[in-house]
Amino acid sequence: MKVPFHRICLYSQLVDGPSRKRAIRSTTSAGHAGIHPPQDLRPSHKNPDQHAATEFADDELMRRRDLQLFFTAAVKLWMTRFVRFPGIKTFAAVSFFAGLLAFSQFIQAQPAAASSAFDEYVHGVETRLARQHAAQSTFFSPGHVSTVAAGAVQIERLSPSPDFFPSGAMIHHWRGTAFVPGAKIADFERLMLDFPAYPRHFAPQIVQAKLLSAASGPVDPSHAQFPIRIQGQMRVRQKHIITVVLDSAYDVAFQRLDPRHGYSLSRSTHISEIDSAGTAAERALPSSQEHGFLWRLNTYWSYEERDGGLAMQVESVSLTRSIPTGLGWAVRPFVESVPRESLEFTLRSVATALRHE
């Protein structure tokens, strides 16, 4: 039986080929209608020499991260083929690839340029949303809410051109629109502010959730003073060829234009990849060992009482690793499909929960 070496040979394009390099202009994220991003979400400013050196280091470390993913898949492939042939041949093959896997553990956190690119991109998104939310007539993206039938969900991709992506990273931007007959603005806010109930409403994706703080007093929107600011934490499990478990924390703010129009902004403050989740060996991987399936995630909701129900529009912007050459069969379904599927799942789950209020 022949082992498909072509999968391994394809990887030389990444190891030996020229890396994409591109300077990303750092831009401080602007506030959104009076709600300002935390300091840790704002890009740092570096001189050109520091930026060039950091970007070169990011390229080199990203190759090491890709090698780790590649050799993990290669070990599984070779062990599957060779376990049928006991003896020295099996031992040599497994030992060889186990050694390569150990060498490939030198991986990295997100590239520095990726964070700056993400901040630059969401600055534009939040600026646009601030203009929309300034008046009732422009509250939603034109031509979307009126075309969505009751119970239907409309999903569209807004991701930027790949030319905008920094080396080793991808930005994913999706928008979803839905209408729920009979729902009220307070129903939506009460649902989204109840973090401990997330595992019930958003199972099986959200496994655990808890509210860390509520800076504006009671979480009940009927008695709270806007803007309402909270911090929440959740554990998410995603399975798409591979299973990934993430612990994440978010700063969330809810604001109203008037009693019939509201919007919210959620910004991730920390995301950790969990190894061996649910077992005695469970641990949060240090940033140097994470695989980059999700580095940053911002979510923006707009909602309006109209036509006897609640119209909702949600946008998600996420930052992930890029797809390594030769590993698209394992990584692409996760980094490309999950952002869209997660947005649609969340929107449908919210609509379902509101119909049962």
User: What's the helix, strand, coil split of the chain in %, to 5?
Assistant: 40, 30, 30
pLDDT band, very low/low/confident/very high, at 144 (cuts 50, 70, 90): low
Cβ atoms of 237 and 207 closer than 8 Å: yes
Lowest mean pLDDT among 5-19, 127-141, 188-202: 5-19
Cβ atoms of 121 and 129 closer than 8 Å: no
pLDDT at 340: 93
Return mean pLDDT, the chain. Answer: 76
Domain 112-355: CATH superfamily is START domain (3.30.530.20)
Percent pLDDT > 70 in the chain is 62
Q: Where are the domains of the chain?
A: 5-26+34-103, 112-355
Question: Is a pLDDT exceeding 90 seen at residue 283?
Answer: yes
Cβ atoms of 307 and 150 closer than 8 Å: no
Kind of pairing between the strands at 169-181 and 153-157: antiparallel
Of 171, 200, 114, 167, give the one whose Cα is nearest residue 298. Answer: 171
Give tens-digit pLDDT for 285-344.
998 888 888 999 999 999 999 989 999 999 999 999 887 766 666 667 667 788 999 999
Q: Which two tokens stand for residue 246?
A: 């993430």
Query: What are the b/e assignments for 106-128, b being 16+ CB within 10 Å?
Result: ebbbbbbbbbbbbbbbbbebbee
Of 342, 296, 303, 301, give the one whose Cα is nearest residue 319. Answer: 296
pLDDT at 221: 79
If you ran DSSP here, which 8-state letter would residue 35 be given? Answer: B
pTM of the model: 0.71
* 65-69 own/partner pairs: CB under 8 Å, 24+ apart: 65/107, 65/108, 65/291, 65/292, 65/321, 66/11, 66/14, 66/324, 66/325, 66/327, 67/15, 67/104, 68/101, 68/104, 68/105, 68/106, 68/107, 68/291, 69/291, 69/324, 69/327, 69/330, 69/331
